[in-house]
Structure 1
């Protein structure tokens, strides 16, 4: 496979400081225009400079097969070349504490000399010893006892099958990253060899995930017995390379955020979303296409209209038969497009998460909790939730707004400006909870009276499903660019405009009227049955094995 940019392949998955603290790199496409940096950070709460042990620059010249040794001596990290490669520049902290900085992430960065641009980045994790690695692995490898050993698929699972799961960004507390982790766990418990390949990865996952270039360079995989499951949600520089791999290929399309909703706050991210949408038609070459909702399916089919004028407008509610009729007119095999929600093991996972009792009690003691969960990006319209909460406090001064999730930097400044306009008593009743554990998140759901999302762009909206599972009445926005109302399907309460006073009155009714509240929850509980873990796991496995066996009749 021909890759144009410089990149590195790491021979080791991780290293141990008390044993062989050596790792090897094979560098490709490196020349005098690039240099190598090894940048060291602790996995847990990395920060600069207080928790930054050091960095080391090497000008590799003609050497492309390199080995490095890591040492920790007198509270200092040292990285030495085993090939007598000179450190041309470095910075080393003099006060690194062993118990504080391990496990370490050694970030391998290839930069362009002319402008310092990052051309490639990956990392390898260094643990103090085997015990530290095993403890870390427990957070990633799901105990088989949580999931049934086998799911009742009618198809035989071949022992030789290997599944390569690919995603651009593998981040913690991200819906796509969490779905990939569920997929990986499900496949492993079915006895299938599964590996994750990614470009950008949280350090806490790196020891258990490979860089996508490792897949592109792999010559050992069987063409007949390998399936790629590629998760698409944004521009990906490796898409064309992945498309041309000779294996059976499934794409899971999660949807792409509308670029115009992001452009004011993040022009670069908006452009990546735009390119992702522009290149969406390419996934039609895959053997099977999974989408997370009918809404996302419509986004995909709409993208094909730019490349085939014979494709008529397609409703989100189009049946499979209607799609098949349309597909006969154009070069689209609609039988290979299936809606499979991104829900495989999550209910069982939540059942096995222990609540943080003290955290939950603290929240409940503050008042009637109105909860939002999700990444706080511009399209989520947090400012509208703040406006609703402003009106809610006028009729329920005991209300508290809890906003849970990571926040986009520029958008955070805008929200801070909005909150600065409020009086002090109102500010005190708004909680930004950006770094919470799953134990705390479960407690936040359990302590809340109402869940709200006024997002204007959702491919699926996992937090809505989680709120249903914790029996919280849901307020969501009905808008053509969001699948939240499709997910609810006449359950919950939908709003169609920004009448913040009316929305606040509805929330207060749900908080104070138990009979009304319980009726809404009853409808939501019935809808929840459509997202039963085992049901959707079987659907996913049947689709996966159908591609393996080239069976077009898998439902």
Structure 2
């Protein structure tokens, strides 16, 4: 693509981004007027679509923009079409005012966090959960180092007036960084759980098997795609007319090599029914959710797990390893397991999906949990955080 064509494409994407605002009738309006002299400065490592943190930052930016609240973005990496909207991290200290609010999204080592922590305006830091380095070091030592450095930055949260986390599990980690416990606001990292209503399904060719299982997310070590392969191999022995569909980027160096070797160890009939689809569009993902039979996840580290919520929205039975944030997101729904006994689990999956009453009971519980998540994600928690900051700004000015 020529530089001119690339430029026009970025301009078109930016215009679409600025115009593509979802209906706000599902979200709570702020119950206070925003002062004209206060700007929200949102700081994050990266702003990329199809990334949980990036998606939430984009959604929050759009929410503030819809309410005509001044907002600036700061990041190291970002979608090319966002270049005119994103500021470099080192610019923040030069332009922030005492009447402003800084909102840091903390999920890995963040350059300049010590300098941001030293600024004297009102500051919020939201912790997403940093992947434990030991889950990554075998496959990517550099990324493991970034995670360790992020943990080392943890004590800096004490310099922020307002603390937030995306789950109670993450909130416990925040308090582990402190000498004494503090209140941590829980903010689920989703603002538009009704977004699928406005996305057109994009049909794509699917394997012609009676039963299809789906995983949505990154193909990285701590998501334990290797355990998904082992589970499907065990399940396939019970139900050969089935397949496993894995979405997401599959370019994680040594981990990809390990998965390829693991596939070769499986019976040929099973490995031929495991499909790595790569990244998919929202429309294609909607089609997948509409045309599979269950959602599987074996992850050993999550901060919240948005795909679980999406699977609930599409009334898919969920089978999930009982990682703490996964259990919290599911509540008393789904079918969670504490041991990865693949043979036993495969039998249980087969049993649930073979008996309509068990499947319906599972989905009904998930639907109730989804309704609660919709309520918890209506924006009120965010408005409360901002109002609390504004109250402190006002109190210090009189």
When normalised by structure 1's length, the TM-score is: 0.67
Shift in alpha-carbon separation, 1:513–1:394, aligned structure 2, 3 A: same
* Preserved contact between residue 26 and residue 378 of structure 2 (Cα < 8 Å): no
Shift in alpha-carbon separation, 1:266–1:295, aligned structure 2, 3 A: same
Aligned to 1:342: 189
Aligned to 1:275: 149
Task: Name the structure with the higher strand share.
Answer: 1
CA distance in 2, matches of 1:412, 1:169: 23
* Preserved contact between residue 10 and residue 81 of structure 2 (Cα < 8 Å): no
1:531 aligned to 373, 377, 380, which one?
373
Q: Does 1:389 align with 2:232?
A: yes
Aligned to 1:223: 98
The alignment covers a number of residue pairs equal to: 393
Q: Does 1:355 align with 2:355?
A: no
Farther-moved stretch of structure 1 (392-401 vs 534-543): 534-543
Could you tell me how far 1:184 is from its partner in structure 2?
0.7
Could you tell me how far 1:412 is from its partner in structure 2?
0.7
Could you tell me how far 1:204 is from its partner in structure 2?
3.9
CA distance in 1, matches of 2:286, 2:73: 27
Aligned to 1:179: 56
What secondary structure sits across from 1:412 in the alignment?
Answer: helix
CA distance in 2, matches of 1:133, 1:196: 18
Could you tell me how far 1:444 is from its partner in structure 2?
1.2
Pairwise mapping of residues 292-331 of structure 1 onto structure 2 (< 5 A)? 292-304=166-178, 308=179, 330=180
- Give the structure with higher Rg (CA): 1
* Preserved contact between residue 235 and residue 273 of structure 1 (Cα < 8 Å): yes
* Preserved contact between residue 312 and residue 367 of structure 2 (Cα < 8 Å): yes
Shift in alpha-carbon separation, 1:149–1:264, aligned structure 2, 3 A: closer
1:155 aligned to 14, 27, 32, which one?
32
Could you tell me how far 1:435 is from its partner in structure 2?
2.0
* Preserved contact between residue 146 and residue 348 of structure 1 (Cα < 8 Å): no
What secondary structure sits across from 2:380 in the alignment?
Answer: helix
What secondary structure sits across from 2:97 in the alignment?
Answer: coil
Aligned to 1:288: 162
Shift in alpha-carbon separation, 1:523–1:196, aligned structure 2, 3 A: same
* Preserved contact between residue 319 and residue 336 of structure 2 (Cα < 8 Å): yes
2:284 aligned to 430, 437, 440, which one?
440
- Structure 1, residues 344-387: CA drift from partner, whole Å, max 9, x if none? 12x2322211111x21xx22744311111111111111111111
When normalised by structure 2's length, the TM-score is: 0.92
| CA RMSD after TM alignment | 2.2
Shift in alpha-carbon separation, 1:149–1:438, aligned structure 2, 3 A: closer
Pairwise mapping of residues 146-545 of structure 1 onto structure 2 (< 5 A)? 146-148=23-25, 151-218=28-95, 221-224=96-99, 226-304=100-178, 308=179, 330=180, 332=181, 334-335=182-183, 337-345=184-192, 347-356=193-202, 358-359=203-204, 362-363=205-206, 365-407=208-250, 408-479=252-323, 482-532=324-374, 535-545=377-387
Task: Name the structure with the higher helix share.
Answer: 2
CA distance in 2, matches of 1:538, 1:375: 29
What secondary structure sits across from 1:141 in the alignment?
Answer: helix
What secondary structure sits across from 1:279 in the alignment?
Answer: helix
Could you tell me how far 1:521 is from its partner in structure 2?
0.6
Pairwise mapping of residues 41-56 of structure 1 onto structure 2 (< 5 A)? none
Farther-moved stretch of structure 1 (506-515 vs 228-237): 506-515
Could you tell me how far 1:551 is from its partner in structure 2?
9.0
CA distance in 1, matches of 2:379, 2:114: 29
- Structure 1, residues 496-552: CA drift from partner, whole Å, max 9, x if none? 101101211222233332221111110001011121168531221121122111299
Shift in alpha-carbon separation, 1:506–1:188, aligned structure 2, 3 A: same
Unaligned runs of 5+ in 2: none
Could you tell me how far 1:467 is from its partner in structure 2?
0.8
Aligned to 1:122: none
Tell me: higher relative CO, structure 1 or 2? Use CA pairs within 8 A at least 6 residues apart. Answer: 2
- Structure 1, residues 31-77: CA drift from partner, whole Å, max 9, x if none? xxxxxxxxxxxxxxxxxxxxxxxxxxxxxxxxxxxxxxxxxxxxxxx
